[in-house]
């Protein structure tokens, strides 16, 4: 009886990071480093490594996709046999190059970013990797481009995969548009959906300004996609959180 009472008491406790039943294994920076050194870096394409190291010297390097997430994107693209893809938010191109390397020779990425200067930093390395021909880069805000595409019925339901990693303010606006551009069975991946863990921070938590600014938008998207019956979702705690949405209708 004493044991049963103890078990019941334990079951009523909120799950802590060290509990066996807790499914998140990453408990330390050392464990993350282990993943990188054991599984990611030895298999990272030499041009991805060069792009990552170049980006590390850039003042806005915090924006770059981490290499384990690049590996995940690469795997997803191949598993899906994706051919026609879109990326919203390119920066210097780490996720773009991960995608381009995974696509077949005739695969395409429609890539959107307001700032071409960032893309131009990575472009020589993307060219060296031999995949620049797969990329159709457009400079400018993404929303009007998506709206224009949606006017063309032939463009609807044509993308296999879309990676959304631009301005967080517009994530819900992107979702409302991209859902009609991705085909049934295709996938949208939203990046940074755990937003440095701030999605569970108390409202008065001392957060950095950009975290405070984006938090509500990420929470809004997370709530929206959780009840959107047009998709199935999977929230992965990789990188800063990535939410995979598979269009089902």
- Cβ proximity to ligand SAM: between 199 and 230 the closer is 199
- Cβ proximity to ligand SAM: between 230 and 236 the closer is 236
- Give the single-character DSSP code of 15: P
Q: Does 87 bind Ca ion (CB under 5 A)?
A: no
- Cβ proximity to Ca ion: between 84 and 243 the closer is 243
The tokens describing 190, both together, are 């939203």
Q: Does 192 bind Ca ion (CB under 5 A)?
A: yes
- Cβ proximity to Ca ion: between 65 and 84 the closer is 65
Residue 112 phi, psi dihedral angles, 5° rounding: -120, 135
Residue 115 contact partner, candidates Ca ion, ligand SAM, none, CB within 5 to 8 A by sort of partner: ligand SAM
The tokens describing 221, both together, are 């998207």
Counting residues that bind Ca ion (by CB under 5 A) gives 3
Query: Closest separation between CB of residue 49 and ligand SAM, Å?
Result: 14
Helix and strand totals (H; E) in the chain: 9, 7
Query: Closest separation between CB of residue 6 and ligand SAM, Å?
Result: 47
Query: Closest separation between CB of residue 75 and Ca ion, Å?
Result: 18
Residue corresponding to tokens 């001392």:
206
Q: Which of 10, 31, 30 is nearest to 22 (CA)?
A: 10
Contact 98, 74 (CB under 8 A): yes
Q: Does 69 bind Ca ion (CB under 5 A)?
A: no
The two beta strands, 159-164 and 84-88, are parallel
In whole angstroms, what separates CA 113 from the centre of its chain? Answer: 15
The tokens describing 161, both together, are 């995969």
- Cβ proximity to ligand SAM: between 126 and 179 the closer is 126
Residue corresponding to tokens 């993404």:
142
- Chain residues binding ligand SAM by CB under 6 A are 63-65, 88-92, 94-95, 112-115, 118, 141-142, 165-167
- Cβ proximity to ligand SAM: between 160 and 165 the closer is 165
Q: What is the rounded distance in angstroms from the CA atom of residue 89 to the CA atom of residue 170?
A: 12
Q: Does 191 bind Ca ion (CB under 5 A)?
A: yes
Query: Closest separation between CB of residue 79 and ligand SAM, Å?
Result: 20
Neighbours of 81 (CB within 10 A): 10
Q: What is the largest CA-CA distance in the chain?
A: 69
Residue corresponding to tokens 């994107």:
73
Residue 113 contact partner, candidates ligand SAM, Ca ion, none, CB within 5 to 8 A by sort of partner: ligand SAM
Q: Does 165 bind Ca ion (CB under 5 A)?
A: yes
Query: Closest separation between CB of residue 190 and ligand SAM, Å?
Result: 12
Binding site for Ca ion (CB under 5 A): 165, 191-192
């Amino acid at each position: 009886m004493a044991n049963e009472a103890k078990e019941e008491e334990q079951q009523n406790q909120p799950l802590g990071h060290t509990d066996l039943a807790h499914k998140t294994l990453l408990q330390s920076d050392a464990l993350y480093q282990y993943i990188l050194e054991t599984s990611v870096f030895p298999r990272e394409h030499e041009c991805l490594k060069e792009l990552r190291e170049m980006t590390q010297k850039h003042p806005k390097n915090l924006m770059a996709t981490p290499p384990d997430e690049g590996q995940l994107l690469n795997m997803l693209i191949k598993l899906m046999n994706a051919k026609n893809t879109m990326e919203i938010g390119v920066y210097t191109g780490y996720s773009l190059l991960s995608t381009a390397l995974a696509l077949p020779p005739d695969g395409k990425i429609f890539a959107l970013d307001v700032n071409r200067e960032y893309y131009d930093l990575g472009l020589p390395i993307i060219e060296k990797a031999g995949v620049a021909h797969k990329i159709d880069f457009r400079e400018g805000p993404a929303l009007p481009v998506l709206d224009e595409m949606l006017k063309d019925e032939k463009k609807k339901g044509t993308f296999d995969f879309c990676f959304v990693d631009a301005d967080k303010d517009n994530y819900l606006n992107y979702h409302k548009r991209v859902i009609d551009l991705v085909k049934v069975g295709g996938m949208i991946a939203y990046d940074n959906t755990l937003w440095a863990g701030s999605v569970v921070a108390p409202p008065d938590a001392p957060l950095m300004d950009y975290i405070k600014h984006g938090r509500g938008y990420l929470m809004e998207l997370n709530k929206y996609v959780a009840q959107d019956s047009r998709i199935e979702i999977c929230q992965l705690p990789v990188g800063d959180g990535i939410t995979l949405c598979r269009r089902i209708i």
